[in-house]
Chain A
């Protein structure tokens, strides 16, 4: 009885099948992925000669100062070409109102871009017995252990040497996994580019010695930004001397945005 196909022939055939499949399946995909739109040029670029490892950026929010004017939200959108829709925000302001029965009322009308003084924003709170109220600015926490970086399937989002988490718009495939993984709701899918986007601490500004747009426009100094490597900077002094808090500390993400005061009702 014949032994059928000799092993060598079969292996040769199998080898050709495998290589052929890779070529036939891979070649068009390679071409396609190059042909696809590269996305807009990455706006988050440092100037040549910038050394990320020489800096350790940190962001401080002084919650006692925020007045909920919303200029930071508007400045951020203008500076970073974020769509004006209220559904896409790199930063936003939340208002926490506690009534005498201990209940918290939290809102963020249009992410706070028009402030909180409109009648629509206040009609429900008018007759409540309010005991305590404050504003809480929020933005990407640029975590030391970012869950968003962990779950990106193509490593499109990454952490720079100076502590900022950025998104490579030319690489992001738009799977939205990072948006699911962020516990702070800091990310969104850019509706025009169909890639993930989030606050970058205005990387193009901080690498040139400027401050992020939101820090620049805050009229009361509720937002502070600086380099921990500089012991004379305001942020270094605050981190050294005052007690600061971070959001959702129990999740272990180690955020780099510190709040000088938080309340138990803050999530």
Chain B
């Protein structure tokens, strides 16, 4: 990874298999165009290769879907492209276009080779003769009229085939060109660039196959044919180069937002793009072919050079496919970085697989060429001087064969393979093809960017989290629910405390404390109106010491000490301001410890303040060491009195919410932001933390209140869990109260927003924020443990 990429872009989506597909269909389109140039436009110089081109096109066409099939995530569903194609997608066209084109090429091949098939059916022995007879499809008429019909059909098919070939390869270009998300791909020129480079690669491959095959067959090479193909190659190469150059030029001139990342890409793929694709694959071939067209070079040398150029162009076009497919994916859509490509040798998208897939069309070609020899015999030239000479269209092999009986016929059959020097022709071709493929791929590995590995990355780690089934239910029984006090009202119950047989509910929006009895009946309400000095405004927490009610208020930041028996305000405790900018304290939680002191959680200043009931500060627990400051590694121990302002720009600091006190005086502070529960010693040092969200069984996410019962069990209400998580005294989770299924968030819950807890003996009182009070019966410790 280089720069910034989106997290999902680390994995390459399309690799070498998708590079192969346009390469193979490109060869098909190019070879077919050569064949059609002879059959439709009557370029006689291409006659020696017309049938060869058809066989080549067919061989590669048969293998074309293989890389696509191999690459799919669900290859067994590939047929859906035929059954339910989605026609806004260019890729959906693949099925029908390929099938149509396959039928077209098969039919045209059959028509062109029909006379040979008929002749061979008559002259070969079983089992070959059975093969040929079935291939003849029962039609053995090679009369002049029949061949005339053939000729017309071939012309029609070849003519239809040119736009079909354009479609077959053009749609691939559109697949890339229509993706606005990728600046390297998105251009209207893409289909035509792909098509032109396809034709170029087809012609080049044809040159190579023709010359090599003639050499292996020890036949005479038609130099004029090679020269004609070289000329065609140069012409198409020129247009192709112009268009590709125009595209880059246009991007470099306009310099849109994506130019920076695109120019960086060109630097990264410099060798495979500029050197291999442009220089070796286009510019040098153009120059050399241009020079050869001047005619100053001898025919043999010219043919050799043209063949070499053909090989270079094929490699160059493969590099072009590579640069488009892989190069485009190297750019991150964040336009800020690049993904590195990893060469894989083994595996589905590996080099060996690509080599195998590239060898298959060669094997198909060898098989087809052996069955239906496309080679034009030298004696066929004599037919030109006959009465049918000069007529454009099909090579009249059928006529020739039937006319050549005896010695000349035997000569022709010799050509089809049988005499010793020409044995092992198929094997030689296959080995030559294999060597060429591996050589080309090795060359690609060396010149294209990326780092090699042997195998693909292993699939995702098995650390796949399914819906956690970790939490259990705590066996508490729902006893009662009070949505309104009977005979009174509250607006937004937020907190509560139980004193004696009375429950005091803190009404946040109603700015009052409502006193109810244990059956939910309204007793009275305390507010600024009824108790002078009780200026409640955004109160968040309450506690009691058996006589007085302590209310933590935000505006102004005070702890009000209320005497409910006399409805008077006993005193108002001002909490010390914070050290940073003198921020006022905001009480977010309150509890009374065993010494009779009040522990107030100051959420604003991230600390705990311990005061006497008279309001004198006892201690301030300011960021216990190693707890709330996660900015730097290692622990930072800040002495309460010398704490300096330390706030990092990117820090997550805990924020104490509620507090609970255990029997031995340790403070349990709810860290709202962490989140989690902190166990703090009475002297202010941190003991431990638990209930972090990383704990799948007991983690809390949005904790609101914490309380400890006489048996040491810890209860934490959590708004996200919509329930109360229970722990034993050591912090081991015991279960969840209030959820019918603690692992399924779509099942009904008892409380939407449990925000406060209070205990009375073995009864748990919970505030469902804004809704009311819910009462649970708790089992004793021994009952809870038994399953």
A residues near B, CB below 8 A?
Answer: 1-5, 10, 13, 26, 29-30, 32-33, 35-37, 67-69, 71, 74-75, 77-79, 81-89, 92, 94-95, 104, 106-108, 110-111, 115-117, 119, 122, 130, 133, 138, 147, 149-155, 171-177, 179-189, 191-195, 204-205, 208, 210, 216-217, 219, 251-252, 267
Contact = CB atoms under 8 A, between A and B. Distances in A.
A191 B137 CA distance: 48
Interface string B1-19: 0001111111101100000
Given A147-B179, A173-B73, A174-B73, A153 B649 contact: no
User: For B6, B83, B84, B88, which residue has the most chain A Cβ atoms within 10 angstroms?
Assistant: B6
A128 B181 CA distance: 32
A130 B720 CA distance: 35
Contacts of A155: 84, 86
Interface of B: 4-11, 13-14, 71-86, 88-92, 94, 137-139, 141, 143-146, 149, 175, 178-182, 329, 332-336, 459-461, 463-468, 630-633, 649-652, 672-673, 675, 693, 701-702, 720, 745-746
A77 B465 contact: yes
Nearest to A186: B8
A151 B652 contact: no
B320 to A, nearest CB: 18
A130 B649 CA distance: 10
B253 to A, nearest CB: 19
A94 B6 CA distance: 9
Contacts of A133: 649-650
Contacts of A4: 139, 141, 143, 145-146, 149
Given A26-B79, A192-B464, A219-B673, 8 more contacts: A33-B79, A92-B7, A115-B652, A154-B84, A155-B84, A181-B179, A192-B460, A217-B702
A249 to B, nearest CB: 12
Contacts of B332: 185
Nearest to A96: B4
A174 B72 contact: yes
Contacts of B463: 83-85
Contacts of B149: 4
B108 to A, nearest CB: 14
B80 A33 contact: yes
B85 A153 contact: yes
Contacts of A2: 141, 143
B649 A36 contact: no
Contacts of B137: 13
A245 B10 CA distance: 27
Contacts of B13: 176, 179-180, 189
B222 to A, nearest CB: 32
Contacts of A33: 76-80, 83
A150 B87 CA distance: 9
A78 B74 contact: no
A173 B80 contact: yes
A86 B463 CA distance: 11
A31 B90 CA distance: 26
Contact of A188 (B11, B76, B81, B89): B11
Nearest to A92: B7
Given A87-B10, A192-B460, A210 B745 contact: yes
Contact of B78 (A13, A107, A173, A189): A173
A115 to B, nearest CB: 6
